[in-house]
Amino acid sequence: MERIEISTSRKTCLVDITRDVERVVKGGGVEKGICFVFVPHTTAAIIINENADPSVGEDILMEINKIVPFSNNYSHLEGNAAAHIKSSIIGQSATLFIENGRLVLGRWQGIYFCEFDGPRRRGVWVKVIEDLRK
């Protein structure tokens, strides 16, 4: 298992980690298998979506921030209840296929770390499982 280090620069942002995950997959030398990506944080998440046009990510963030407003008489006293809710709705992990030593992603897809309570230093765990079947 390998850890990808991320430094986020804003309160909410999407960070494209596709290249970092690909580097872990290549480093593992696995030709065929499964790649798990997991975020060990309660105010962050993982999504897979378009990485060709950055405005898609901005729209996703804008709408998520509307669905879950930053303040709404939440009970959680730390002040980051919205970030916990966004993290819970979106989820902490992604599962990808590996074929011919590479991640199988659609032409326009990338893997994004979602920051909901930044800026912070963060980590993402990546584990590669080899498929040994013939």
Cα distances (angstroms) measured from residue 118 to each of 8, 39, 57, 127, 130: 6, 14, 16, 25, 34
Structure tokens at 106: 């659609």
Interface with Zn ion, residue 12, by CB under 5 A: no
Shortest Cβ 93–Zn ion spacing (Å): 20
Structure tokens at 43: 């105010």
Residues of span 65-94 touching Zn ion by CB under 5 A: 78, 80
Interface with Zn ion, residue 31, by CB under 5 A: no
Shortest Cβ 104–Zn ion spacing (Å): 35
Q: Kindly tell me the sign of the dihedral angle through the C-alpha atoms of 79, 80, 85, 86.
A: positive
Query: Which residue lies nearer to Zn ion by CB, 41 or 94?
Result: 41
Q: Which residues bind Zn ion (CB under 5 A)?
A: 78, 80
